[in-house]
Structure 1
C-alpha cells in the first residue's frame, strides 16, 4: 500500500474557524479506509468546551503546544506538549487551555461524527490565525447542542472552570 500525503494546497482548503478556535482537517474520514479523522486545533487561553460524551467515538488528544487541563470520567489530568490522552466513548469529558499563549493539539477519532459536527458548525477562516474572540450567544449554544446531538455527542454540563 502506498502512503498518501495531503498536498499543502488541499490542507489549506480544510481550514476553518470553530467557535474561538482555528481548526485544520489534517486527515478526513473520507480519505481513510478505517474512517480515521485527524483534526488540528489552535486554541486561545481559557478555551473550554462543555462537559460532553461521545456516544460513538473514542477521542484521542495529542498536545503539540501549550498546557491543557482535562477532566475525563471525573479525573483531572494536566497535559503538556508531547502528551497524549484518551477520552473513551461513553465517558464524560471536557478540557481547558491553561497556557497564557494558548495551545495546539491534534484530536483523533474514528467514524466521522466529531468531524462532521466541526464541519457543520465551522465557518470559513479568512486567515491562518485565531478568529475574533466572542462569547457564545444563546442561539449559538442551541445550534451547537443540536449539531452535537446529530453527531451522537451529548452535552451534559458546563465547561471546566
Structure 2
C-alpha cells in the first residue's frame, strides 16, 4: 500500500510538469459521487478485464473517460523479455514508473536500465521503447497524458489475432512507428 501511495504522490507532483493542472482533470462538470474514491485492488483492472501484449499482462487503472481524456494509467504485470517497437507519440507524454524488476529503455539517443523505484518520461515526439531485462519479470505503471487514443490502441492489439501493426496502423492511434526495438534479439 505504501508503494501505491508513494507512486500516487510522485504522479501528482508530475502532472504540472506535463502541463496538466491536477484540479482541471475533474473538468467543468460535476463529479459523480458514486465514482469518488473508487479503490482498484492490487492485481485488478478497473473494469475487471485483462489485456495482453504478448510480453506482459496489462491492467487498466485510470480510464480516459474518468479524466476528460486528460490521463490514462495502465499497469504492466509480468513484463518479460520483449516490448513494443521503437515509436513516438504525436500528442502525449508517456511516463513510466518501475515497481519491480529491471527494464531497459531507449528514449531518443539514450539507452538506460531502470530498477525498482526509478521512473522516466518519454516526451511527445521523441522515439522511445522498453524491454524487460531477460530472465527478470518486471512490473511497472505507465501513464499517458493526455490519454489520446491509447485505450483503443491497447484494446485493438490485445486480441488473440491482432491486426498487422504497420506504420498506417500506428498512425490511426496518433503514434508513429519509427522502427524495430533496439533491444529485439
- Residue 11 of structure 1: CA displacement? 2.4
1:16 and 1:24 in contact (8 A); partners too: yes
Secondary structure at the aligned position of 1:61 is classed as strand
Unaligned runs of at least 5 residues, structure 1: 125-138
Larger radius of gyration: 2
Name 2:157's counterpart in structure 1.
121
Secondary structure at the aligned position of 2:164 is classed as helix
Between 94-103 and 6-15, report the one with greater CA deviation.
Answer: 6-15
- Residue 10 of structure 1: CA displacement? 6.2
Q: Does 1:35 align with 2:70?
A: yes
Unaligned runs of at least 5 residues, structure 2: 1-30
Name 1:112's counterpart in structure 2.
148
Q: Give the count of matched residue pairs.
A: 147
Alpha-carbon spacing, 1:28–1:95, altered in 2? closer, same or farther (3 Å) = same
**Per-residue Cα deviation, 1:36-61 (whole angstroms, up to 9, x for no partner):** 11100124431121111111110000
2:40 and 2:61 in contact (8 A); partners too: no
1:53 and 1:154 in contact (8 A); partners too: yes
Q: Does 1:155 align with 2:167?
A: no
- Bigger RCO of structures 1 and 2 (CA < 8 A, at least 6 apart): 1
Name 2:113's counterpart in structure 1.
78
Name 2:96's counterpart in structure 1.
61
Query: How far apart, CA to CA, are the structure 2 residues paired with 1:144 and 1:6?
Result: 37
1:65 and 1:104 in contact (8 A); partners too: yes
Alpha-carbon spacing, 1:46–1:32, altered in 2? closer, same or farther (3 Å) = same
Name 2:54's counterpart in structure 1.
19
TM-score (norm 1): 0.78
Secondary structure at the aligned position of 1:4 is classed as coil
Alpha-carbon spacing, 1:10–1:77, altered in 2? closer, same or farther (3 Å) = closer
Q: In angstroms, what is the RMSD of aligned CA positions? A: 2.5
TM-score (norm 2): 0.69
